[in-house]
Amino acid sequence: MAPELISSYTPPSLSRRRLLQLLGGAAAAGTLAACGGDGGSSSAGDTLKVIGVGDQEAGLRKALDDYKSAHSDFDFNLSFAPADQVQTALRTQLAGGNAPDLHVVYPGNGSAMSMAQLAKANLLADLSDQSWTQKIPAGFAGAFKNDGKTYIFSPGSSMLGAIYNKKAFASAGVEPPATWSELLSVCDKLKKKGIVPIALGAQTPWVTQLIDYALVPGTVYAKTPDFDDKMIAGSATFADSGWADAMDKYLELQKKGFFNDNPNGTTYEQATSMVGTGKAAMAVQVSAVLPAFREASSSPDDLGMFPFPATDVAADNWIPGGVVVGIAVSAKGKKTEQAKKFIEYCGQPETVNAWAEAVACVPLYSEGDPKVDPVLQPFLPYLKDNKAVPFMDQRWPNAEVQPTHFAVVQELLGGKTTVQDALKKMDEAYRKTA
């Protein structure tokens, strides 16, 4: 049957020349259509292209809107992506020479999208001649500068501590603790009341690091303030430091049942919702995510923050306070000068204050009394007493230590490794070249 069908089939008459004509026509039509698309969006050529990360949206959008209303010739095209996608999409654009004029950059070093890594690749414009850069506090210089030049604007510093549900605390009759023993006692009372003491969404990789970050200022930096310098010099290791104490305490909280069940299977969003609704009493988090927690709660006033105590000696309980994610000007962008002018505007005290307020952080600097979110008040004395330590990764030498930290914490919570092996893996990652 089949051969008969084939032999009786006569293809329609279509000469090779006609076929090529058709193909050529289709190609021309495609080209014309593409030209039409470009022509229709001519205004895009005058627009500043900006890519930010979700955490900074409230502040960055407000700054851009305010700048636009003051400058009639200014327009912007703003898009946001979650942190993980920023790593992929933006790095691909940077590699392809197709960078946006302004884009998100993480302060210091330690991640593939950090200021130091991108500055080393000559991808960021130097901002050192702008007046606001003179007001960067000396302790934050490493977050803003590489080889003495400033490459990033950030509105200030975020505090890391426990975001807690006041109603949950009140129902168990407890107050924010000031020492490690008090914390354990508070957690115990909350647990007996049927409330999850600490919500932990460790399936979201970046959340895994936060409890360690909250504890090591007390277990490491209060005793060895120059720990980072010693690590760089090779005279200290994670495994032989207070990091081991911090990780032991992290696991102690798990062993005592103070986390929600299955933290490795719980996401950041689920943990946020648990605290917002009062199912859990607290979560160790950065103040920059307070807006998300407030959105999850019935009233923003239900939530407060306190420094997460690491030791039983109140004087040793330092806090982590890191410069929040910022923006930088692409050195390869088409509107570098225009983008720099916007950054200069961001550096003015009013804009710094407004942006900082929008993302619940302490302003980079202020003229007069800074406007600080009231829930951050418990942290201010630590800043005043120089008991704040930048987020640990901001001085790590390469982008491999931080994801290794995420992975080993998940392994610890899953019972697949020991504290010593986990810290050895972090030491190995630290010693790899940048």
Among 277, 242, 247, which Cα is nearest to 260's? 277
What the block records as the tokens of 196 is 């999850």
Rounded distance, CA 351 to CA 353, Å?
Answer: 5
Rounded distance, CA 429 to CA 357, Å?
Answer: 36
- What does each C-alpha distance from 250 to 89, 365, 393 come to in angstroms? 34, 34, 18
- Phi, psi torsion values for 218, nearest 5 degrees: -80, -40
DSSP β-ladder status, 319-323 and 280-286: unpaired
Residue number, 173 or 257, with CB nearest to another protein = 257
Dihedral sign (CA 249, 254, 256, 258)? positive
Query: Could you say whether residue 351 binds another protein (CB under 8 A)?
Result: no
**Least gap, CB of 253 to another protein (angstroms):** 17
- Which of these segments, 112-120, 157-165, 335-343, 356-364, binds another protein (CB under 8 A)? 112-120
Per CB under 8 A, contacts with another protein among 375-404 are 398-400, 403
Q: Which of 47, 87, 237, 366 binds another protein (CB under 8 A)?
A: 87
Per CB under 8 A, contacts with another protein among 131-170 are none
What the block records as the tokens of 162 is 């426990």
Residue number, 19 or 44, with CB nearest to another protein = 19
Q: Which of 18, 19, 170, 185 binds another protein (CB under 8 A)?
A: 19
Query: Could you say whether residue 54 binds another protein (CB under 8 A)?
Result: no
User: Listing from the earlier edge strand, what are the strands of the sheet with 48-53?
Assistant: 76-81, 48-53, 102-105, 326-329
Query: Could you say whether residue 115 binds another protein (CB under 8 A)?
Result: no
Query: Could you say whether residue 410 binds another protein (CB under 8 A)?
Result: yes
Query: Could you say whether residue 254 binds another protein (CB under 8 A)?
Result: no
Q: Which of 15, 16, 42, 72 binds another protein (CB under 8 A)?
A: 16
**Least gap, CB of 20 to another protein (angstroms):** 8
Angle at CA 136, nearest 5°, toward 135 and 140? 160
- Phi, psi torsion values for 84, nearest 5 degrees: -65, -40
Q: Which of 77, 88, 98, 420 binds another protein (CB under 8 A)?
A: 88
Residues that bind another protein (CB under 8 A): 3, 6-7, 16, 19-20, 23, 27, 84, 87-88, 91-92, 94-95, 112, 117-118, 120-123, 202-203, 205, 261-266, 270, 398-400, 403, 406-408, 410-411, 413-417
